[in-house]
Amino acid sequence: MSDDTKPKHLVIFQPSGSRGYCEEGANLLDVARSLGVEIETPCGGRLMCSKCRVRIEEGFFERFGIESSMSHLNPVLQKEKEFFHSKGLIEPNLRQSCQVEVHGPVVVFVPEESRAVKQLVRKSARELKIEIKPSVRRYFVEMKPATLHDPVGDWERLQNALNAAHGLDGLRIDYRVLVALQRAIRTGEWKVTVFVWQGREVIRVVPGFAEYALGLAVDVGTTTVAGFLCDLDSGQVLATESMMNPQTPYGDDVMARITYAMTKSDGLEKMHAAILEGLNTIIARACEAAGYKPEDIVEAVLVGNTCMDHIFLNIFPKYVGVSPFAPAIHHSMDVKARDFGLNILPSGNVHVLPNEAGFVGADNMACVIAEEPYNQDDIMLVIDIGTNGEMVLGNRNKLISSSVPTGPAFEGAQITYGMRAALGAIEKVDIDPVTWDVRFRVIGQEKWSDELPPEEIKARGLCGSAMIDLGWEMYRAGVVDATGRYSKETHSPRLREGPNGLEFVLAWARETSIGRDITFSVNDMRALQLAKSAMYSAAKIMMRRLGVHKLDKVVLAGAFGSFIDKVKAMAMGLFPDCELTNVYAVGNAAGDGARIALLNVDKRVEADRVARQIEYVELTVESDFEKQFAAAMHFPHMTDSFPHLQKMLDKATRERALRQLRNVPALAALPDPALRKLAAVTDEVRFKKNQTIFEAGAEPTALYVVKEGSVALSFSLDGTAPTQTEVKPGELLDAVALARGRPHTATAKATALNTKVLAIPRQEIVSLLEAQPGWKNQLADSGTR
């Protein structure tokens, strides 16, 4: 409730022009929300992203009649300064709106990249073979009218008629239905259609014959919500509606919303009201599209992760977010729609599928009953890549599940130019392995960037599918090495020093709608590696617990899974090796499972049974979690092999070597076929500090090129004291020995902690010298010796 004794301050947001008065000390982000100004807040105001930044305009604005000043806000916090510096944001008058208190009139400019965008919600229904066995059945009955000789009550008369015509006994009736029963019977002239739930409760009585019974299946995702209006008799999907989850202003991920509920006295109330309003909007749209009324929906099935379930049911989610992550209820539950205002038949049932454990909720259980790994012999890994990466592994013998946080990277919160899959988001990326030229495709454009004039591209940021592409493409092209470390090579203008180290330019400012280069920094790469490592290490630990060494199938569930390149996803190390034909996307499997549970009541029993049988793995308590996680940080993995991608990986190795060899002056003059031949046999060798590469007097076994780190060559001439020379990346080591056919005259030792050397086998160099005799002197004169 507002305090009328506090002074009011005018706040004006540009470029929308929205304005209004707020109380003294009001939070600027809350003011924006109250005025309908949508600002990105993926972290929920925890100062973990820079997406809600705004610019404070200063000076006197005559048309508004106010003086706007930074001094009308609380002082810039030190953590804000440090945060902006870490993100390379040096523009004056920037503030994080979530950290701002208003103490005077102010004009606020919301940059384009901070304006909330509408994510493209792609959650269509796929064709499913479902045995139709709904929990709500309708029965037409005709009764004899009451008379003075037969004055039995209407409910008892209806009970007797249902028992006689349909064998239904022991029924009860919903109180609201009983209130309206007599009017319904007489309006229908003693002929009515009765809707019975689970064969035991009358939930609706309609005069005359009702031709249909409708149900609603809803997938309440952390980011998006999808509803499917179904005919309970045929199973046909009559309408599909989807929308952004209206809770996103309170944070993009589960932990942000749990924090919001815990830190705001009305946090749960706001989020519960928001999702309820969103669900009722979906219901209204679906019914309008199909030509029905909301009260024609006699049952709904809802699925969501554990946190979403709690908020929808208005249960405080605090304990889901703290160890031991216990939910309020594991089992499925049935509640009346009227109990929390869901706008379907008030006496209709709302069924919520069971939670498995912790963050693995009813949505994952819906995926499980849709894909049925418990009915298969093959070892199946089901991955629902969304705000959380929920995973199930196993077959008919045993199932294991786990959950990892992936949303902060794949949904953009921790990526400098990351964003949701909305118009303007880069969704596909290719990088030329030789030139490092980038071509990309933006959501909303059918053509790739190299097929359009720069001013028509209008990229705004990059979404999750582009980040999957980048993991592989940057490794393939040699922009980063297997550890994710950026190349020291600076021959390309796309690789440059940024505010926090090296960054790679994906789109030049002229190709964007934000007027700045879109880059991918070392910090962005690390966030991507953390997300992919979490997924991979979880799969490996689950495989170990199950006692299996390979996967037979990998199922990519969720809308995000349908739009990633499965080959690049496996090549960058998102999940372990598998036959590519057995890696496939199934779209919104959670929504499919909700439909299955809506249309077949036996599947609800099955879901409860399987949920209790699935073994949940808490990754952080596994003894080798850190070791597995560190190994999975590499592209594609530090030690695991990928036999189904070996040709692709070998080709990428040759392409990286070719680029590196072309940057060596003595080799650049060679014909392209000769260079490609050398690249095909070049090995990358790592040396620790002070490790010997070769010794003086030894016969050369290879031609060495320093790729990274540094090497010291120690040699002596005519008995003089040893001389030491440092060899830097891009230079050859004692090339004269091979060129002249003599032993090494120097000893080479690595002097950096992590030195990488390219080694070209001696025989290849000898053969090349014979084929290119003019190259001998050039090779002998190059490098350090």
Tens-place pLDDT, residues 719-739: 566 788 888 888 888 887 777
DSSP-based three-state secondary structure for 508: coil
Rounded to 5 degrees, what angle do the CA atoms 451, 457, 462 make?
110
Q: Tell me how far CA of residue 166 lies from CA of 137, 160, 193, 696, in angstroms.
A: 11, 10, 12, 99
Closest to 302 in 3D by CA, of 294, 287, 313, 317: 313
**How does pLDDT run across 212-264, given as a tens digit for each residue?**
899 999 999 888 899 999 999 999 999 999 988 888 878 777 888 888 888 88
Which residue's entry shows tokens 């019974």?
213
Report the pLDDT averaged over residues 430-455: 90
Structural contact between residues 665 and 671, judged by C-beta atoms closer than 8 angstroms: no
Residue 2 clears pLDDT 80, i.e. is over it: no
CA atoms 406, 410, 411, 413: torsion sign:
positive
Contact 205, 184 (CB under 8 A): yes
Amino acid 607: pLDDT: 94
Taking only the tens place, the pLDDT of each residue in 35-76 is: 878 887 766 666 666 778 888 888 888 777 888 999 999 998
CA atoms of 424 and 431, how far apart (whole Å): 19
Residue 297: CB partners within 8 Å, gap ≥ 6?
Answer: 214, 215, 216, 229, 283, 287, 344, 345, 348
pLDDT one-digit tens code per residue, 361-372: 888 899 999 999
Secondary-structure breakdown of the chain: helix, strand, coil percentages, each rounded to the nearest 5: 35, 25, 40
Given a contact cutoff of 8 angstroms between Cβ atoms, the answer to whether 696 and 755 are in contact is: no
Same fold, 8-114 and 136-207: yes
Give the C-alpha separation, 275 to 676, whole Å. Answer: 58
The predicted pLDDT at position 163 comes to: 92
| Comparison of pLDDT for 449 and 408, the residue scoring more | 449
**Separation of alpha carbons 176 and 178, rounded Å:** 5
Q: Whose CA is closest to 704, among 755, 777, 773, 653?
A: 755
Which DSSP letter does residue 612 get? H
Report which secondary-structure segment, H or E, holds 381. strand 380-385
Predicted local distance difference test score (pLDDT) of residue 66: 86
Per-residue pLDDT tens over the stretch 142-179? 998 888 888 889 999 999 999 998 889 999 999 999 99
- Residue 490: predicted pLDDT: 62
pLDDT number for residue 408: 59
Candidate ranges 114-128, 283-297, 455-469, 745-759; pick with highest mean pLDDT: 283-297
| Per-residue pLDDT tens over the stretch 528-572 | 999 999 999 999 999 999 999 999 999 998 877 888 899 999 999
The confidence score (pLDDT) of residue 473 equals 96
**Radius of gyration, CA atoms only, the chain:** 33
Q: Where are the alpha helices (DSSP H) in 291-410?
A: 306-312, 362-371, 407-410
CATH H-level, domain 8-114: superfamily: Beta-grasp domain (3.10.20.30)
Token duo for residue 429: 């990326």
Per DSSP, what are the bridge partners of residue 694?
748
| 688, 753 Cβ separation under 8 angstroms | yes
664-780 maps to CATH 1.10.730.10 = no
The CA-atom distances, in angstroms, between 537 and each of 64, 237, 276, 384, 662 are 56, 38, 37, 15, 36
* Region 99-115 average pLDDT: 85
Compute CA 343 distance to the chain's CA centroid, rounded to the nearest angstrom: 31
Res 313: pLDDT: 92
User: DSSP strand E in 522-614: where?
Assistant: 553-557, 583-587
Question: pLDDT digit string (tens) for 590-606?
Answer: 999 999 999 999 999 99
User: Which tokens hold the place of 577?
Assistant: 């090796």
Running DSSP on this structure, what letter comes out for residue 99?
A: G
Closest by alpha carbon to 302, among 268, 348, 238, 371?
A: 348
Can you give the pLDDT at residue 412?
62
Crossing angle of helices 175-187 and 154-166, in 10° steps, is 80
pLDDT at 550: 94
Q: Is the dihedral of CA 585, 591, 594, 598 positive or negative?
A: negative
What does the pLDDT read at residue 785?
46
Distances (CA, A) of 616 to 392, 395, 613, 619: 9, 15, 9, 9
Residue 121 has pLDDT above 60, yes or no: no
Q: What is the pLDDT of residue 256?
A: 82
Task: Determine the angle formed by the axes of helices 625-632 and 522-546, rounding to 10 degrees.
Answer: 130
pLDDT at 126: 73
d(CA 539, CA 79): 36
pLDDT of residue 1: 42
3-state secondary structure of 415: coil
Pick the closest to residue 130 from 230, 240, 241, 239 (CA basis): 230
How crowded is residue 639: how many other Cβ atoms within 10 Å of its Cβ? 7
- Mean pLDDT in residue range 469-482: 93
Could you tell me if 223 and 244 are in contact, meaning their C-beta atoms sit under 8 angstroms apart?
yes
Pairing of strands 583-587, 553-557: parallel
Instruction: Give me 212's structure tokens.
Output: 């249909």
Domains of the chain by residue range = 8-114, 136-207, 664-780
CATH architecture group of domain 136-207? Roll (3.10)
Closest Cα to residue 655, out of 526, 487, 520, 478? Answer: 478
Query: Lowest mean pLDDT: which of 12-21, 494-503, 519-528?
Result: 12-21
Residue 193, classed as helix, strand or coil, is strand
What is the number of other CB atoms lying within 10 angstroms of the CB of residue 15? 10
- The first and second tokens of residue 92, run together, are 């004056």
pLDDT of 379 over the 70 cut: yes
- Eight-class DSSP state of 322: S
Per-residue pLDDT reduced to its tens digit, 505-524? 999 999 998 888 999 999 99
Q: What is the pLDDT at residue 407?
A: 57
Instruction: Tell me if 514 sits within 8 A of 113, measured CB to CB.
Output: yes
pLDDT bin (cut points 50, 70, 90) of residue 382 is very high
pTM of the model: 0.78
CA-nearest of 428, 687, 373 to 542 is 373
User: What do you get for the CA distance between the two ends of the chain, in Å?
Assistant: 80
Can you give the length of the chain in residues? 785
Phi then psi dihedrals of residue 573, to 5 deg = 95, 40
